[in-house]
Amino acid sequence: MAVTPISRRFVLLMATQRSILVLIASSLLACLADQRANGQPPNDAHFRSRLNSLESNPDDHPVFLLRLLKFKGDTDIEAFQKYLNVSVARIRELGGVVIFYGKAKPIEYDFSGSKKVFGFRPCPWDRILIERYRSRKDVLRLAKSEDYRTATKALQDIVEKTVVYALNGSPWSGGKKRSPADTMTGPPEPPSPNEAVYMLNLLKFKPGGEKIYLEKYAKVVAPLIKGTHNGKVICHFKPEQVLVGDEGYDRVILVMYPSAKAFTDMLQSDVYQEVSGHRADAISLGHLYGFSNEAAELKKLEQKR
């Protein structure tokens, strides 16, 4: 059968259209991959489905949102302040409270002569917010607030990367004590002078790892933090839903040390060095980031209203 010029053009046109469709599909997939990598929800429907999953969880205790934000290089900090003004006000109206707000705090540490701490590295985030809500329904009410949605859209323009986790104050496995965060009415009062560093621990356990962590590591380190180095475990959480981002954890812990030196002195102590291997044995993923306590800035926001 002879191929006419018209049929040739038709075949060429179809091939071109297929190529264009493949290119468009590839671009969309790449875009979604970039959004996931940057900690952004791929689309509003995806984010909404995660929020709906949160609402379906038991609502007998407070729920917390942990937000970590990385700004773009040329960020207008005033835009973030506007977001903070709106969000703090709306959270208060819903009967909630910001229980921690901090900025990344560089910590210099020389590992020579001591073991490296799994997950301890320069903080990749610029800000941290931990918010307490009376219920999961209140989180959805916040998300539906028009001025909050407007402020959030403006925030997206200045943020390079963000993750948001819903947490609760459930006890550790085998324990009965819920997190002190359940009853916190505001940020912890920083020591004076305010040189304290607040270490955020994001932990994912290996199978059976939580027991190893509690019995062989935490049992030794908790008294060391409090007694020898004047630190304090501010609160601990069990993550229940990833709202923005993909990396999940089993436990989130916030620990205060009176100074960066107090923290690094603990890491270099003989007692810590002896048990630090148990932490590595217990976790498959562990991030350890340092932040300041910006409670004073939150107080200023409260006083303005």
Q: For the segment 232-268, what is each residue's pLDDT rounded down to a tens digit?
A: 999 999 999 999 988 899 999 999 999 999 999 999 8
Q: CA nearest 179: which of 217, 139, 224, 130?
A: 130
**What is the pLDDT, as a whole number, of residue 19?**
42
| pTM exceeding the 0.85 threshold for the entire prediction | no
Q: How many beta carbons lie within 10 A of that of residue 250, not counting itself?
A: 18
**What is the pLDDT, as a whole number, of residue 235?**
95
Q: Which domains does the chain have, with CATH numbers?
A: 44-304 (3.30.70.100)
The C-alpha atoms of residue 29 and residue 33 are separated, in whole angstroms, by: 6
Q: CA nearest 69: which of 156, 138, 166?
A: 156
Q: CA nearest 205: which of 283, 117, 118?
A: 283
Q: Which residue has the tokens 């709306």?
A: 90
Element (H, E) at 286: strand 283-291
**What is the pLDDT, as a whole number, of residue 77?**
77
Residues of the chain with pLDDT under 50: 1, 3, 6, 8-42
Cβ neighbours of residue 45 under 8 Å, at least 6 residues apart? none
**What is the pLDDT, as a whole number, of residue 118?**
72
**Could you tell me whether strands 232-244 and 159-168 are parallel, antiparallel, or unpaired per DSSP bridges?**
antiparallel
The C-alpha atoms of residue 212 and residue 250 are separated, in whole angstroms, by: 14
